[in-house]
């Protein structure tokens, strides 16, 4: 069976992280979000993947190539102009001649995809949607099913006055190929707003299955940061690169660190980062560059309540205490912010 990874998102609400890279390429603890999704697909036995790309497609193609390094085959379908979620998949219809799975490359999850496929086949569905209960359904499409899982109603991004369920559409679907003929080829077309309501009106068998496990959209900076928090807390099942030490601390290859006590977990320090002797790395930090002073992630009562604030600093060989060295780097992959020296570092300097 093939899987389609939707990776055409521009991610305007994630800027500056997405100023020069597509939304699916933003890193979650050391890997692009989309790489975690592809690893999930491989784990469930998918060997062929079609990736739909639109915004900066070469960034995705150059990273994943033909998929050989990940142990599967990757093909690409390029949108010349935005076609919407359904339109992008419809563009790849010639590559999809059997039941296939659709999944977003910019939403982190660890669903049991085998369970979803089994349910789809058992119900002989035209479309099966992976559902999830969430605290705030306002940003998502609400789905109501009967006791057997057959979908009765959709409502896309409701107001609180319209909310009649907390069960949402996660953007993970199992679809029969004949459904694609209902997607127009000459205009943008959306799964939730247009195709699924049309199929429901036609009386086609649409089903929804509530899923266990983790799911998090990364549509804005708060959600993106929370996904990193949850990965560090191991609330989502991921293959985090590097060596895991005590207290959920992961160190990548070639990290320069004088003392392990400089890093308070949970934290992730990426490949070839250098943590200066006077620097400390606080809990819920995710670093992808060197640290010459300190980096702290925000937390409350031991639990992250908002984004880890990785304060990454590029090395300055000339004068690490100069004004330029004290200025936080502006690299988009780590969303650096300005910081001051930690108290411990001040005491060390005064001594």
Query: Which residue in the block uniquely carries the two structure tokens 């308070």?
Result: 264
Q: Which of 236-240, 285-289, 315-319 has the highest mean pLDDT?
A: 236-240
Given a cut of 50, is residue 345 above it in pLDDT?
A: no
Cα torsion angle, 35, 40, 44, 41, sign: negative
Residues 189-204: tens digit of each pLDDT: 999 999 999 999 999 9
Given a cut of 50, is residue 331 above it in pLDDT?
A: no
pLDDT, residue 317, reads 29
Band of pLDDT at residue 163, cut at 50, 70 and 90: low
Quote the CA–CA distance of 61 and 279 in Å, as a whole number.
37
Give the catalytic positions in this structure: 157
Using a pLDDT cut of 90, give the percent of the chain over it. Answer: 56
Q: Is 2-217 CATH 3.90.550.10?
A: yes
Q: Which of 245, 254, 268 is nearest to 29 (CA)?
A: 268
- Average pLDDT value for the chain: 82
Q: Which of 26-35, 277-286, 313-322 has the highest mean pLDDT?
A: 26-35
pTM for the whole thing?
A: 0.80
* In contact, 286 and 334? CB cutoff 8 Å: yes
Band of pLDDT at residue 17, cut at 50, 70 and 90: confident
Q: Which of 317, 272, 316, 273 is nearest to 295 (CA)?
A: 273
Quote the CA–CA distance of 222 and 14 in Å, as a whole number.
9
Given a cut of 80, is residue 207 above it in pLDDT?
A: yes
Residues 55-73: tens digit of each pLDDT: 999 999 999 999 999 999 9
pLDDT, residue 155, reads 77
The number of angstroms, rounded, from the C-alpha of 156 to the middle of its chain's C-alpha atoms is: 21
pLDDT, residue 111, reads 98
**Bridging pattern class, strands 151-156 and 141-145:** antiparallel
Q: Name which residue leads in pLDDT, 240 or 336.
A: 240
pLDDT, residue 174, reads 98
Q: Which of 83-97, 257-271, 285-299 has the highest mean pLDDT?
A: 83-97
């Amino acid at each position: 069976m093939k899987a389609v990874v939707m990776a055409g998102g521009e991610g305007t609400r994630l800027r500056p992280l997405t100023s020069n890279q597509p939304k699916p390429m933003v890193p979650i603890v050391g890997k692009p979000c989309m790489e975690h999704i592809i690893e999930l697909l491989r784990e469930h036995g998918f060997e062929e993947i079609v990736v739909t790309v639109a915004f900066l497609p070469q960034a995705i193609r150059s990273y994943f190539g033909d998929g050989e390094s990940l142990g599967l085959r990757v093909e690409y379908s390029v949108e010349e102009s935005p076609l919407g979620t359904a339109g992008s998949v419809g563009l790849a219809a010639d590559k999809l001649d059997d039941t296939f799975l659709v999944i977003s490359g910019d939403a982190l999850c660890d669903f049991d995809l085998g369970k979803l496929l089994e349910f789809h086949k058992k119900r002989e569905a035209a479309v099966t949607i992976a559902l999830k209960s969430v605290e705030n359904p306002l940003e998502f499409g609400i789905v109501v099913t009967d006791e057997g899982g057959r979908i009765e109603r959709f409502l896309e991004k409701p107001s609180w006055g319209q909310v009649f369920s907390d069960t949402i559409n996660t953007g993970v679907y199992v679809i029969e190929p004949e459904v694609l003929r209902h997607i127009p080829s000459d205009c943008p077309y959306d799964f939730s707003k247009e195709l699924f309501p049309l199929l429901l009106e036609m009386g086609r068998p649409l089903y929804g299955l509530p899923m266990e496990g983790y799911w998090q959209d990364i549509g804005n900076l708060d959600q993106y940061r929370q996904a990193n928090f949850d990965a560090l807390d191991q609330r989502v099942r991921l293959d985090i690169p590097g060596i895991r030490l005590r207290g959920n601390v992961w160190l990548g290859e070639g990290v320069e660190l004088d003392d392990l006590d400089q890093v308070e977990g949970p934290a992730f320090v990426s490949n070839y980062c250098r943590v200066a002797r006077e620097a400390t790395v606080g809990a819920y930090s995710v670093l992808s560059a060197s640290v010459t002073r300190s980096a702290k992630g925000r937390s409350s009562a031991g639990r992250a309540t908002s984004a880890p604030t990785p304060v990454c600093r590029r090395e300055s060989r000339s004068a690490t205490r100069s004004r330029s060295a004290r200025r936080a780097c502006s690299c988009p992959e780590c969303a650096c912010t300005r910081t001051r020296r930690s108290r411990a570092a001040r005491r060390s300097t005064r001594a």
